[in-house]
Structure 1
Amino acid sequence: MADKHIDEISGVETTGHEWDGIRELNNPMPRWWVYSFYATIIWAIGYAIAYPSWPMLTEATRGVLGYSSRSEFSVELANAKAAQAGNLERIASRSLDEIIADPQLQQFAVSAGASAFKVNCAQCHGSGAAGGQGFPNLNDDDWLWGGKPAEIYQTIAHGIRHSADGETRVSEMPSFAEMLDPEQMKQTAAYVASLTGTPSNRELVEPGKQLFADNCASCHGADAKGSREMGAPNLADAIWLKGEGEQAIINQMKAPKHGVMPAWLPRIGDTTVKQLAVFVHSLGGGE
């Protein structure tokens, strides 16, 4: 007792700790805090008894209530599937136009299609469907094969150049390496570049125009706006799939790049393909 130190100002006993002449007062904790602390201990013990908590060798203690978050999730998932079942049946039995005409069903199809897109399509077309070099942007209104719901469905269902599907989309640009000499390719590329910008040499445009008419117009059209029946891209809209610039055009003429899209109908089924078609159509570029 003789060693106790009492603070002169507050009259409170100190703990005996001292730092640079500063002593720590030994004030008791507020009762509300002490009681709250005791309550948390009691609550923790009760929780450990009631719910799974203590890890064992192969699993945690189950608790007297037998609660399982996995079981709860399974019930919620089953309820969600049951709620979706009606909409899925309606989508399966209706045409694309009928689905789009029904606001509630269209909203469901767009939502489900967005999820399916992230799982199956985002790897090539990007999470936002903006595509990339060699992979079309699905947000714009530039369509190789058409942007109507039925046309989008056909492309997704049967793919492009997917040899295992008899209904797949097929188009193939020939190599002009043996048909045109390097100077003629430069002239053709200059003309194509002039349709949306300024060519590197304007003197090449006029002879390139004639070369285009003789060699390219049969697929891309006399106005170079392409042909959806043949999958020939529009060359007059400044949207480039395989690369931009005259050299990229020449490279495509020499050694054409032909992408392949798988047929998704056998993989994911008709209902999901419909949902994807409605989703892609809703992005803003659909017709």
Structure 2
Amino acid sequence: MDVGHRDSITGRTTTGHEWNGIEELNTPVPKVVLFFLALAALFCVGYWLLMPAWPLGSTYTKGLLGNDQRRIVDEQVATAKAERAAWLDKIDGMDFAAVKSDPQLMQDVVQAGHVLFADNCAVCHGVKGTGGPGFPDLTAQAWLWGGEPEKLAETIGIGINAANDDTRVSQMMAFGRDGILNRQQIADVVAYVRSLSMPDTGSPESIKAGQEVFAANCVSCHGEDAKGLHDQGAPDLTDSHWIYGGTLGDVYSTVYSGRQGHMPNWNARLTPAEIKLLALYVDQMGQTK
């Protein structure tokens, strides 16, 4: 087929290509498409000239308008910090009881503490602080190391099993894996522990035997009444709050394999005033619930 042959139906010339008797027409690009392509090109050139756009090694083109979003955000953050500094410094200079007795300051604590908690703590404890498998529910007030604001601030600052030299240290032994207790003893002590908060579980014989196992192996951390010891970081076993789950299998796994939780030492990232703010916020979470 000759190039330039005119199609009898459309009146357009052909390109000279043919597939199974189908001829390709030499149809020009619609002018509206060319218009918008040109408009997009002009917009790109204008944007490159007016706005930050091109990387130049360690820097970038600033643009004629100087509209630097990073600079704007930095200025907004600096302004917010300056506005917060007045009442945050006031909180930092007061004891916990005085702050808690001031409704206006506590309103600031709740508002700012919610953001600080969401940015740093929610990934483990949840946005509402209700925790999850392996992470304590902070609204339950079932504290491992004490629930006074001063204790909470200390725990937040130095962490638990963290890198800080003064970190709180806590670990539950692996009674089954390390051969301290046999399987029957573990089953009995699990039945006893679960009966403390769920009286209708386990046989009386197993619960009685488990009580003896508990007295011989567990009271040094959890106490004779099984309500836990804050200086050991040992939980209260008589309430209904289970960090790693309260089912028969969960508790058996905990006794058999042991547990060792971890919380970072936040004094490496947050200021003392921010840690105090977080402690006050966490303290009021449980009281609000």
TM over 0.5: yes
- Kindly report which structure 2 residues correspond to 1:45-60, keeping only aligned pairs within 5 A, or say none: 56-59=47-50
Give the 3 Å change call, closer, same or farther, for CA 104–218 of structure 1 in structure 2.
Answer: same
Give 1:82 deviation, angstroms: 3.0
Backbone CA RMSD of aligned residues: 2.8
- Match for residue 5 of structure 2? none
Who is 1:230 aligned against? 232
List aligned pairs for 1:213-228, cutoff 5 A.
213-228=215-230
Q: Normalised by the size of structure 2, how large is the TM-score? A: 0.72
Distance in 1 (alpha carbons) for counterparts of 2:73 and 2:164: 39
2: CA distance between counterparts of 1:143 and 1:172?
Answer: 16
Shift of 1:73: 6.9
SS of equivalent residue, structure 1 residue 184: helix
- Number of equivalences: 232
Shift of 1:244: 1.4
Q: Which moved more, 1:83-92 or 1:174-183?
A: 83-92
- Equivalent position of 1:166 in the other structure: 165
Deviates more, 1:104-113 or 1:178-187: 104-113
Does the C-alpha gap of structure 1 residues 227 and 73 become closer, same or farther in structure 2, counting only changes over 3 Å?
closer
Query: CA, structure 1 residues 55+282, in 2 after alignment: closer, same or farther (shift >3 Å)?
Result: farther
Change in Cα spacing, 1:74 to 1:173, as seen in structure 2 (3 Å) is closer
Corresponding residue for residue 184 of structure 1: 185
Partner of residue 276, structure 1: 278
Q: What residue identity is the alignment partner of 1:184?
A: Q
Q: Distance in 1 between matches of 2:283 and 2:124?
A: 17
Report the alpha carbon displacement of residue 88 of structure 1 after superposing the two structures with TM.
Answer: 2.2
**Greater relative contact order (Cα < 8 A, sep 6+):** 1
Which residue number corresponds to residue 84 of structure 2? 84
Q: Per the alignment, do residues 72 and 215 of structure 1 end up closer, same or farther by CA in structure 2, a change over 3 Å counting? A: closer
Taking a change above 3 Å as real, the CA distance of residues 74 and 188 of structure 1, as seen in their structure-2 partners, is closer
CA contact (8 A) 1:110 1:276 kept: no
Taking the aligned partners of 2:172 and 2:80, their CA distance within structure 1 comes to 47
Shift in CA distance, 59/183, structure 1 to aligned 2, threshold 3 Å: same
Alignment-mate amino acid for residue 149 of structure 1: P
The letter for the 2-side match of 1:157 is G
Tell me how far 1:57 sits from its aligned partner. 2.5
TM-score after normalising by structure 1 = 0.72
Shift of 1:143: 0.8
Aligned equivalents of 1:102 and 1:202: distance in 2? 52
Q: What's the offset of the Cα at 1:176?
A: 1.3
Instruction: Give ranges in structure 2 of 5+ residues lacking alignment.
Output: 1-44, 52-64
CA distance in 2, matches of 1:81, 1:139: 28
- The match for 1:153 is 153
Identity of aligned residues (%): 37
Check conservation: 2:173, 2:259, Cα contact below 8 A. Answer: no
- Amino acid in the other structure paired with 1:141: Q
SS at 1:56 equivalent? helix
- 1:258 maps to which residue? 260
Gaps of 5+ in 1: 1-53, 61-65
SS at match of 1:156: helix
Q: Deviation at 1:245?
A: 1.9
